[in-house]
Amino acid sequence: MSGIEGITEQDIADYLANDPAFFERHAELLANVRISHPHGQRAVSLQERQAELLRDKIRGLEHKIIEMIRNGQENVAIADRLHRWTLALMLTRDDSQLPEVLLRELRHQFLIPQAGLRLWNVGAGHALAPFAAEVNPDVKTFVGSLNQPYCGINSGFEAARWLEDDVASLALVPLTAGAPAQPFGLLVLGSPDPTRYTAEMGTEFLSRVGEIASAALSRLLHADPHAAGHVDRQPD
């Protein structure tokens, strides 16, 4: 007995780990070892316990596969809706109709409760359009400070007043053109649900929406390169 008094459980575990042939030499132990079942008081064999562990692992992998398939299907659906929205913009021949088409299709394709926008430095032919209404200089400064879309609770943003109804959360997507990029507008998406747009959500998709919207709406910008704050573009 004195020879084994100093042996610990870790010593035994290390020995078995370093001698995989042990259970080949003592195969009968695998059939005789009994351990407690994790979901009950009964004892089970080592083989049965290993089988249960494998079943649990397989179930976990199945759940992961199902989740991957669901995410893949959702991504395909989002890509299809983005494609249809982009086509609607490309097929709009009348420049003055672009903002209306952009907002209408955006609400329709992505089930967005409310959407609005404002543009500045637009051409003279669009100066009286609703989307070219005067914007507070503070808003323009704020848009110029955005490196990515802003998402969060509506804390009294002026842009929220561009929408028809009150919203609890919103996304503010800057519209830019030129190199280096200069802001010429702001797209605002709003929802009465305070959790629809949160500070924790990713903004990569909204950035893509902003890029597409900017490319389409840049057709409405002032053609005079000397206009104040104008982003250079070639006349149509």
Residue burial 135-166, b: 16+ Cβ < 10 Å; e: rest: beeebbebbeeeeebbbbebeebebbebbeee
Portion of the chain with pLDDT greater than 70, in percent: 82
- Weakest mean pLDDT among 7-11, 46-50, 119-123, 147-151: 46-50
Q: Which regions of 91-181 does DSSP assign to beta strands (E)?
A: 114-119, 150-153, 169-177
**Count of domains for the chain:** 1
Are 182 and 231 a contacting pair, CB within 8 Å? yes
**Tell me: the pLDDT tens digits for 110-164?**
999 999 999 999 998 898 999 999 999 999 999 999 999 999 999 889 999 999 8
Opening angle at CA 107, ends 215 and 137, nearest 5:
55
In a domain, 167, yes or no: yes
Domain contains 166:
yes
Query: How far is the CA of 141 from the CAs of 107, 117, 229, 235, in angstroms?
Result: 27, 16, 12, 27
8 Å CB contact between 114 and 190 = yes
For position 192, which CATH number holds?
3.30.450.40
What is the domain extent for residue 120?
92-220
Sheet of strand 150-153, all strands in order from the earlier edge strand to the far edge: 114-119, 182-191, 169-177, 150-153
Residue 173 forms part of a structural domain: yes
DSSP 229: T
Residue 37 or 90, more confident: 90
The Cα 77–Cα 119 span in angstroms is 30
> pLDDT confidence of 1, banded at 50, 70, 90?
very low
Angle between helices 98-110 and 46-90 (to 10 degrees): 160
Helix (H, G, I), strand (E, B) or coil at 112: coil
Per DSSP bridges, beta strands 150-153 and 114-119 are unpaired
In a domain, 212, yes or no: yes
72 within some domain = no
Does the residue 118 lie in any domain? Answer: yes
Q: Tens digits of per-residue pLDDT, 25-41?
A: 776 766 666 666 665 56
Percent of the chain with pLDDT over 90: 53
Whether 234 is in a domain gets the answer: no
